[in-house]
A and B are shown apart, each in its own frame.
Chain A
Amino acid sequence: MKDLYELYALGLLEEPERSQVETELASGSEEARARMRQALENNAILLAMAPEVEPAASLRDRVLQVAGGVEPGRANSQWMWAWMAASAALLVTAFWLSSSLSNRSSELATVRDQLRRVSSDAADSHAQLLRARAMLAFLNAPETRIVTFGPRDPKPPKGKVLVHPGRGVLLVASNLPPATRGQIYEMWVIVGGKASPAGLFQSDADGNALHLFENQVAPGAAVAVTLEPEAGSAQPTTTPLFVATI
């Protein structure tokens, strides 16, 4: 079966070979997993051999609409410089370490792995820091106003939606019904009856959640939350857990 993993990864392998490959993978064999990784890499390389075709310039704008189409703020460029400085420091450390070791190639590989781990940890910390800063700035902004939802409703959830005309919407919710396995909460901004995705989030074990949607929201819009499949949905597929008009 080892010659057919590429076809399997493309979704083209038929029975009985498909079941045989699936059995090999399900066995947990490291050899089978390595073949699968190699097949995915080979497939990517072969696909990248497609002759280059220039798309229309307007396609970029269409794609960016998916994400809200917001241009970068100055803070992003500042972070980019900080990242470059941090990266440079890491590189200097890596080179110093590598030059002091006799087996240069193997030690460099080790350093690269360390760098990768450090950069990953830093990226996570960076993400949390950014998130905390964004939320703090949101809460401190004088233009931010608070909409409460659910206080009179007999059933949970309850919470607040903080709205800033330029920064977006911060949702603070409690008593959210638990998401079952394979589900995720998705926030929606509803304008003129049309719902647009505003991000995915999870709650903690007690049903509390905090979600920041950094995008301008039109006056009179409403915010809703639904439970969706874990990959998220382009449109709501379940009844909203709540709707708050902002």
Chain B
Amino acid sequence: MNFLIAFVFAVFDALSEVDLISRLRRREPKAMADLYDRYGRLVYSVIFKVVRDRTVAEDLTQETFLRIWNRTQFFDSEKGALGPWILAIARNRAIDYIRSVDGRMSKRATEFEPAAEHPTAFLNLERDILNSDRAKLLQTAFAKLTPSQRQVIELAYWEGLSQTEMADRMKQPLGTVKTWVRTALKTLRNELEEVLTA
């Protein structure tokens, strides 16, 4: 029975997301309301974790949704995964902001170009990834990282630091930081693979 319920919900979610993307592409204002109701709090939470200022987080949340509104024309309603795309845009807007505030933007403007923000990068991802079993596994695996590994992951995701910048911040050799980063990401992936293939 649980399987059936999960199946029904998965199909409904898929249908409603396909419909939502189609309506966004038609620039229906109501679609924006539905999009905000579905992702607004998550987008705001991600941005707030980066900028730690409510007013700035609100401005950047509005900017994020404006960007989505202007780019959904290029989003594939059949194959695109909306959640990961929206979170990438939100995080990038927030990181852009803190870089501009602390002066890193001018120093690395040409380097910080998120490789994956264009809608076409988000094709064929698991559509309901944020609510999947894999999400729960990854969150559990994250808790198993060593303090150093967890710190480098947080510096990357929430402060937008490159490995060189992490080494400066942590006053550690670059090679040590690279090892922590690789090991952390590998550990997360291995934990997933072990459970999923068991």
Q: Give residues in A with beta carbon < 8 Å to B.
A: 3-4, 6-14, 22, 36-38, 40-56, 59-60, 62-64, 66-73, 76, 83, 87, 90-91, 94-95, 108, 112, 115-117, 119-120, 123-124, 126-127, 130-131, 184, 197, 199-200, 214-215, 230-234
**Given contacts A48-B135, A64-B36, is CB(A108)–CB(B84) below 8 Å?**
no
Using Cβ atoms and an 8 Å threshold, which residues of chain A touch B77?
A: 120, 123-124
Is B27 interfacial (CB 8 A cutoff)?
yes
Using Cβ atoms and an 8 Å threshold, which residues of chain B touch A70?
A: 29-30
Report which of B8, B29, B44, B113 forms a contact with A53, defined as CB distance below 8 A: B44
Is B26 interfacial (CB 8 A cutoff)?
yes
**Given contacts A47-B91, A72-B33, is CB(A67)–CB(B27) below 8 Å?**
yes
Q: Decide if B157 touches A63 in the complex (CB within 8 Å).
A: no
Using Cβ atoms and an 8 Å threshold, which residues of chain A touch B116?
A: 8-9, 11, 36, 40
Expressed in whole angstroms, the minimum distance between the Cβ of A238 and any Cβ of chain B is 16
Chain A residue at smallest Cβ distance from B166: A12
Please count how many residues in chain B sit with their CB below 8 Å of the partner chain's CB atoms.
84
Expressed in whole angstroms, the minimum distance between the Cβ of B15 and any Cβ of chain A is 5
Q: Decide if A55 touches B74 in the complex (CB within 8 Å).
A: no
Interface of B is mostly: helix
Q: Decide if A37 touches B29 in the complex (CB within 8 Å).
A: no
Expressed in whole angstroms, the minimum distance between the Cβ of A48 and any Cβ of chain B is 5
Expressed in whole angstroms, the minimum distance between the Cβ of B127 and any Cβ of chain A is 9
Q: A45-B138, A47-B87, A67-B29 are in contact. List 13 more A-B contacts (CB 8 A).
A: A6-B185, A7-B156, A8-B115, A12-B162, A44-B87, A44-B129, A46-B153, A55-B44, A59-B44, A67-B32, A71-B33, A76-B30, A124-B77
Expressed in whole angstroms, the minimum distance between the Cβ of B140 and any Cβ of chain A is 11
Q: Decide if B134 touches A66 in the complex (CB within 8 Å).
A: no
Using Cβ atoms and an 8 Å threshold, which residues of chain B touch A234?
A: 66, 70
Is B188 interfacial (CB 8 A cutoff)?
yes
Interface of A is mostly: helix
Task: Give A85 to B170 CA distance when docked, in angstroms.
Answer: 57
Q: Decide if B157 touches A43 in the complex (CB within 8 Å).
A: yes
Expressed in whole angstroms, the minimum distance between the Cβ of A45 and any Cβ of chain B is 5
Using Cβ atoms and an 8 Å threshold, which residues of chain B touch A48?
A: 42, 46, 83, 87, 130, 135
Using Cβ atoms and an 8 Å threshold, which residues of chain A touch B69?
A: 66-67
Scoring B40, B88, B111, B116 by chain A CB atoms within 10 A of each residue's CB, the highest score goes to B116
**Given contacts A40-B88, A66-B62, A115-B11, is CB(A11)–CB(B188) below 8 Å?**
no
Report which of A3, A49, A55, A62 forms a contact with B185, defined as CB distance below 8 A: A3
Expressed in whole angstroms, the minimum distance between the Cβ of A159 and any Cβ of chain B is 20
Report which of B37, B40, B78, B112 forms a contact with A116, defined as CB distance below 8 A: B78
